Chain A
Amino acid sequence: MDNILLGLQSVTDPNVILFLLLGCVVGLIIGALPGLTGNMAIALMVPLTFTMPPNVGLAFLVAIYCSAIYGGSISAILLGIPGTISSFATTLDGYPLAKQGKAGLALGTSTMASVFGGLFSGAVLMFLTPVLADAALKFGPAEYFAVALLGISCITSISGDNVPKGLLSGMLGLIIAIIGMDPQNGVPRLTFGDPNMLSGISLVSSLIGVFGVTSVLKTAELCKKQETLQKVPEVDSVWIGIKECIHQLPTWIRGSVIGTIVGIIPGAGTNVATFMAYDWEKKLSSEPETFGKGNPLGVAAPESANNAVTGGSLVPLLSLGVPGNSTSALFLGAIMIHGMSTGPVFFTDHPDIIYGLFISFIVANIIMAPLGIFLLRYMKTILSVPEKLLAGVILAFCATGVFSIASNPFDVLVTIVFGLIGYFFNKFKIPTAPMIVSMVLGAMIEGNLRQALVASRGSWNFLYTRPLTLGIMVVAVGSFILPFIVPMIKRTFAKK
C-alpha cells in the first residue's frame, strides 16, 4: 500500500501528467494512421526519454503504448482499414457497423472496451505481477505451438457462410507464411533470390493492401454507377450510454481475461489474443450469424483484449526481466538506460519508479476515454466525405504509412500486390480474413512446432505427454470443428 502511495506521489508531478496527456494524443493519432504502429512511435520516442527523469519518460511511453492500440480501432471502424494487426479483428464488425450508420456505436464500444481492458490488465499488473512471473516460464515451444493453433482455429468461424472457401484462403495464407528464411536451418524458401523476401512478407504491408487498396479498387469500380455513392450514412453519438455498457460488460471481462493471459505469455502477442477473443465471443453468442455483419460485441471483444495485452505484456518484463513482446523490449531499453535493472530487484530498489509506472498506466487508460470521445466527435465526420473523394487520400495514406515502416519501397509493392489479391478474392467471394490470420500465425506455428520437435528429438509425443500442451490442443481442435458440428447437431434435432 505504501508503494502505491509512492507511485501516486510520482504521478502528481505536473510533468508526468503533461507527458501522459501528450503520449495519449500522440499514440491515438499514430495508432489511427494505417501502417504506423505504437511500436514504431515508442521506438522513436525512447531516445527522447534518455534525458527525462525516469518516471516522466516511462509515463510518456506507457501512454503511447495504451492509446496507440486503441487508436488502431479508429481507422479499422471508420475506413475499414486496420492500421495494425491488433485491430484487424475489430474491422470485421466495426466497419459493417459504420456502413449501417452506427459508427458512433462502434467507436463508443471500442473506446469503452479499450479502457476497460486497459484498466483490468493494469490492476493485474499492479497486484499480481510477482505471482504470475513463474507461470510465464512454464510455456515452452510445445505450449506456444498449441496456443498458436488455438489462435488459428478461429478461421473456420470467420470464414463466413462458405467454410471451404475460407479454408482455401487460410491455406493460401499458410503458404505465404512459408516465404523467407527457414527458421531452423537458414535455407531461403520461395524468395527468388531477393533479399527483400528473406525475412518474409511484411504483415502490416499485406494487411493494408488487402483492406486499404482493395477498398479503393472497389470504390473505383462503383464510381461508374452514380446512384450508389449519393447516400451519406448517418452518424450517431459516440457515447454509448450506461445501459449498453452494462450489456457489454460480460464481453469486456472475457476479452480482458483472454488479453491479459495471452499478454503474459512471452512472445504470444497481441494478435492471438484478438483472434481468440473475437472467436470465443462469436461461439458463446446466441446469435453467431450476426457476427461479421455489424455486432457491437464483435468490436467489444477484440478491443478489450488488445488493450488488456498491454498490461499483460509488461508482467514478464518487470518480474523476470524478459520482454513479452517487441514493445515491452523497448521499455526494457528505456528502463536500463537510467541504470535500473528489471526483474525482482526493480521492485525492491526502485519502488517509486515501478509503482509510478503502474499508476501512470492506469491514469493513461482513464485519460484515453474522454480524449477519444472528444476527438472522435470530429473524426467520425470523415464518413460524410463521399467515398470517391476519400479514396485517393486513403491510397496516399496507405502508401506513405507502409513506406515509413522500414523506408523500403519493396513494402509498398507488397501492399499493391496484396491489394490486387484482395480484389480478386472479393470478386470470387473468398473471405480474406482467414488468409490474414494464417499469415500472422503461420510463422509462429511452424517455428514452435519445429523447435518442439528438436527438443523431443523428433518425437511427436510432446503433444500428449505435456498436460498444458494437451489441454490447449484439445480446446483448439474443438474450436476448429465446432462450426461444422453445431449445424449437424441442430439438423439432427430438427428432424426429430
Chain B
Amino acid sequence: MMRKTSKLALAILAGMLMFVSACGSKPSGGGTGKTAKKVNFPTKAVDLVVPFKPGGNVDMCSRIIAPVMEKSLGQPVEVLNKPGGGAVIGQTYALNAKPDGHTVLVLTSSFATNVLSGNTTYKIDSVKMIGQMCYDPEVLVVSSALGVKDYKSFLDVAKSKELLNTTPGFSTSHHICSLLYGQKTGIKFQYMHTNGSAEQTVELAGGHADVGFTTYAGAASLIQQGKIIPIAVANDSRLSTLPNVPTLKELGLDFKYGSYRGLAVSSKVPDDVVEILRDALKKAMNDENVKKQFANSGLPVSYTDGPAFEKMVREDYKGLESVKPMLKK
C-alpha cells in the first residue's frame, strides 16, 4: 500500500512539474523560414523582453503584436517578462544579450529616465530603434473636489497656493512631465508619489490630491464619471478621445510631452538584421486587427519608423537633462 501511494504521489508531482515547464514556454508555432533574405535571420525564437510584470499596458502591447510579427518573421516571437528595478533589470538583460537580434527590448519612456539617473550600464545611444508602437500625450487633470473647470481658473489657483500633485511613482513619465511643466510655467507643486497609475487616479478621484498628469486610457472611466476633470492636453493637436479639451498650445504654452512605447535592440546588432525587424514591426502595426486591439485598450497606434523614433527619444533625453538636478536632489 505504502509503495503504491508513494508512486501515485510521485506521478502527480511529475505531472505538476511538466505543467510548470509547460507554463514557461509557449508551444512554438510552425512557420517556414523565408530563405530569400540576404541574412539568415531569425534562426530561432525571437524574445520580446518586457521589463515589467505581465499584465500591464506594455506587456499587453507586446502580446498583441507578438503573434503578428511571428507570421512575417517565420519564427516564434515570445514575450519574456523581466520585471524589477524600475525596468533596469529587463533593459540591462536585453542589451547585454548576444547582439544577434533575437533579443528585442520593449522600450518605454523609462529607458531615458533610467539612463538619466546615471546608474545604468547602458547609455542613451546603446540602442538601435526598431520603431514606435504608440505615443500617449500627457493630459493635465484635476480632482473634481478642487472646483476648477478650465485652465484659466486652474492657473489662478495653482499660482495662489502649492497644489498637491500626485504621480504614479518617482521619475515616471507623469512625474517628469509635471517637473518640465512646472519649470516652464514657474508653478510649484507638492509631490505625492504613489505606486502606479491606478493609485494615482484613485487619489485624484477621491479628492486626496489636487492635480496630476496622466494619460487618457487609465483615467477614462473616472473622467466619464466626472470625478476627474481633464483641463488641458500636452500635445500639438487635440485628442480624438477628448475632443473638447484644449491643448496647452492653444492656451498659449508651447509644451508637449507624452510617454512612448516601441521596440529596440542593442546597437551592436547588424544593420540588415535591424531592417528585417523594422519591416516585421511595420507590417504588424499596419495590421487591422492589431490596430483595433490597440485602440480598444485605449492605446491608439501611432507608428513611427526606427530612425524617427530614435530621433524622438534622443530629443526627449536632451529635454530631460534640464530636470536632472530635481531628480537627484
Contact = CB atoms under 8 A, between A and B. Distances in A.
Interface stretch (A156-164, A221-229, A270-278, A375-383): A375-383
A315 to B, nearest CB: 13
A343 B170 contact: no
A396 B20 CA distance: 11
B206 interface: yes
B173 interface: no
A320 interface: yes
Given A183-B193, A326-B55, A336-B297, A232 B221 contact: no
B297 A333 contact: yes
Interface string A225-241: 00000001000000000
Given A341-B221, A407-B80, A336 B55 contact: no
Interface stretch (A167-175, A192-200, A430-438, A478-486): A192-200
B85 A198 contact: yes
Given A33-B16, A36-B23, A43-B54, A406 B82 contact: yes
A266 B224 contact: no
What size tier do the contact residues of chain A reach?
Answer: 35 or more
Given A42-B55, A186-B170, A406 B83 contact: yes
Given A198-B86, A199-B85, A345-B224, A184 B203 contact: no
Contacts of A137: 202, 205-207, 227
SS class, residues of chain A in contact with chain B: helix
Contacts of B171: 186
A341 B220 contact: yes
Nearest to B208: A140
Interface string A184-216: 111010000101111100100000000000000
Contacts of B84: 195-196, 198-199, 202, 406, 408
Contact of B221 (A41, A140, A188, A321): A321
Which of B20, B89, B170, B190 counts the most chain A CB atoms within 10 A?
Answer: B20
Interface in A436-457: 447, 451, 454-455, 457
A341 B63 CA distance: 20
B191 A454 contact: yes
What size tier do the contact residues of chain B reach?
Answer: 35 or more
Interface string B22-38: 01100000000000000
Contact of B53 (A33, A43, A232): A43
B9 interface: yes
Nearest to A32: B16
B297 A195 contact: no
Given A382-B12, A454-B192, A44 B89 contact: no
A193 B220 CA distance: 39
Which of A40, A41, A44 counts the most chain B CB atoms within 10 A?
Answer: A44
Given A186-B327, A385-B9, A343 B224 contact: yes
B180 interface: no
A339 B296 CA distance: 5
Interface in B197-249: 198-199, 201-203, 205-209, 217, 220-222, 224-225, 227
Contact of A385 (B6, B208, B227): B6
Nearest to B327: A186
B298 A336 contact: yes
A197 to B, nearest CB: 8
B158 interface: no
A333 B6 contact: no
A47 B296 contact: no
B217 to A, nearest CB: 8
A322 B221 CA distance: 8
Contact of B192 (A339, A393, A451): A451
B23 A404 contact: yes
9 contacts: A195-B119, A197-B85, A198-B86, A267-B195, A316-B202, A333-B297, A384-B6, A384-B9, A457-B190
Given A46-B60, A183-B193, A343-B222, 6 more contacts: A46-B55, A196-B84, A267-B202, A337-B296, A385-B9, A455-B208
Interface of A: 29-30, 32-33, 36, 39-44, 46-47, 50, 136-141, 181-186, 188, 193, 195-199, 202, 232, 266-267, 316, 320-323, 326, 329-330, 333, 336-339, 341-345, 378-379, 381-382, 384-386, 389, 393, 396-397, 400-401, 404, 406-408, 447, 451, 454-455, 457
